[in-house]
Amino acid sequence: MDITFNEEQEMLRKSASDFLIAECPKTKSRELEEDEKGYSPEIWRKMAGLGWMGLAIPEEYEGMGMTFQDLTVLLEEMGKNVLPGPFSCTVIGGAFAILEAGTEEQKKEFLPKIANGELILTTALLEPGGAYYEASGVNLKATAQGDNFVLNGTKVFVEMANVADYLICATRTKDGSADEDGISLFIVDAKAKGISVEVMPTIAFDKLCEVRFENVSIPTENMLGERNKGWPVVQKVMQKGAIAKCAESVGGMQASVDMTVAYCKDRVQYDRPIGAFQALQHIMADMWIVTQTSKYLVYQAAWMESVGQPCAMEVAMAKAYVNEYYKWVTERTVSLHGGIGTSREHDAGLYYRRAKAADVAFGDTDFQRELVAQKIGLIS
C-alpha cells in the first residue's frame, strides 16, 4: 500500500496545472462556453504536443503508454481548471472503446491519429425518451444492406458532436431479444450523408448535441467489436467514463474549496475576515472533509480500474458519492461568496453548473445507487 502519487504523476500534475493556468484561465473557460465550437483548436494542438491525447494509448499506436490512473491525474487538473472541450469524449469514449473492441486495423487507423490530436471522437449512446444508461434505451436501428448498415434514428446528449470527426454509435441490430443482446457499435464518420447535428443548450454550455441519422449508410467494416455484442463494450467504456468524470469532479471540488477559503480570509465584514466566524468555518471544514473522502474513493476506483481489478461496485459508489458532494460543495461555494458568487463573471458558478452536468453524465445518483444495491447483495 502506498497511497501517494508517484513522482512521475506529481510531475504530470504540476505540468498540467501550469499549462492550464497559462493557456486556459477562467475567462477563457467562459469564453469557450459561448464559442460555437466549444473548444479552442489552438489549446487542443498544444495539448497534442504535450502528448495528452495519447497519454494512455500504448506506444505501438504512437501513444505514451502510461496508465489509466495517470490519465485521471490529468483529468483532475482539467476539472480543477475547467477546460472545456472534447478531451475526455475523445480519449475515453473514443480511444478506449477502440482499444477495448477494435480490430488491429481499426486500432492502427484511429489510435495514432487520436494520439496526435488529429481526430475528435465521441460516443453516441443516449436516445430521446428517457435518455438513460441502460441497454433497453438503445433503439436506433442499424439494418444490414449488402456491405453496409443503414442507420435511422436519433441520439441525444452526444458530447461535442458539433466538432467530432467520428461518432461511436450504439445501435440496435437485432429485434426481439434480451435488451443486452442485439446492440452493435459503429465508428461513424460524423460528416456522413444523412447526419444532422444540433447543439442542445445546457447548463454548462458543454455542447451536448442531438444527432439525427436519416438513412446513414456505414460500411460493415466500421463495426466496432462483434455484431450484436456491443453492450459489454459500452459498459466498460462507461465505467472508465464514470471514473474520468469523478476525477474531473474532485478537481472541481478542490478548486471550489480553495476559492471559498481564500475569499473568506479576504472578505471583511464586522471588522474581521468572515472566515473567522465559526458558522462559516464549519461549513468549510465539511466542504474539505467531503472533498477528501471523495478523492480517496475516486483514487481507489481509478487504481482498481487501472490495474484491471473488477470494480463495478467501487465505480458506482464513487460516482454516486461524488455526484452528490460535488453539487453540495459548489452550492456552498456560491452561498459563501454571497451576491458575487451568483454572478456570471465569478468562477463559483462555473463549478456549480458543471457539478450538475457531471451528476447526470454516465448515470445519476439513483442509477448508481441501484447498481450499488445489487452489488452489496440486495436481491432484486
Is residue 279 a contact residue for another protein (CB under 8 A)? no
**What is the per-residue binding string for another protein in 229-258, x denoting contact by CB under 8 A?**
----------------------------x-
Question: What residues from 9 to 38 belong to the interface with another protein (CB under 8 A)?
Answer: 9
Say if CB 330 and CB 252 are below 8 A apart: yes
Q: Is 296 in the site for another protein (CB under 8 A)?
A: yes
Residue 201: burial class (beta carbons within 10 Å; 0-12, 13-18, 19+): exposed
- DSSP summary character for residue 189: E
Q: Which stretch binds another protein (CB under 8 A): 172-180, 215-223, 318-326, 351-359?
A: 318-326
Q: Which is nearer to another protein, 25 or 273 (CB)?
A: 273
| 259 touches 348 (CB < 8 A) | yes
CB of 341 to another protein, least distance (A): 18
Decide: is 289 part of the binding site for another protein (CB under 8 A). yes
Q: Which of 265, 338, 342, 343 binds another protein (CB under 8 A)?
A: 265
Q: Give the Cα separation of 68 and 138 in Å (integer).
A: 28
CA nearest to 123, candidates 243, 233, 44, 250: 233
Among 201, 269, 278, 345, binds another protein (CB under 8 A): 278
Residues between 45 and 74 that touch another protein (CB under 8 A):
69
Comparison of 50 and 313: residue with beta carbon closer to another protein = 313
Q: Are 71 and 113 in contact (CB under 8 A)?
A: no
Per CB under 8 A, the list member of 6, 136, 145, 343 interacting with another protein is 6
Selected from 294, 341, 347, 352, the binder of another protein by CB under 8 A is 294
Q: Are the C-beta atoms of residues 333 and 340 closer than 8 Å to each other?
A: no
Interface residue with another protein among 116, 288, 331, 357 (CB under 8 A) is 288
Count CA atoms closer than 13 A to 154's CA, side-chain side.
11
Residues pairing with 185 in the sheet: 170, 224
Is residue 269 involved in binding another protein (CB under 8 A)? no
Q: Could you tell me if 172 and 180 are in contact, meaning their C-beta atoms sit under 8 angstroms apart?
A: no
299 binds another protein (CB under 8 A): yes
Q: Which amino acid is residue 11, in one-letter code? A: M
CA distance 127 to 258: 38
Q: Does 335 bind another protein (CB under 8 A)?
A: no
State which of positions 110-139 bind another protein (CB under 8 A): none
Grid cell at residue 23: 493557456
Which grid coordinates belong to 327?
A: 453539487
Residues that bind another protein (CB under 8 A): 1-6, 9, 69, 257, 261, 264-265, 272-273, 275-278, 281-282, 284-286, 288-290, 292-297, 299-300, 303-304, 307, 314, 317-318, 320-321, 366, 368-373, 376-380
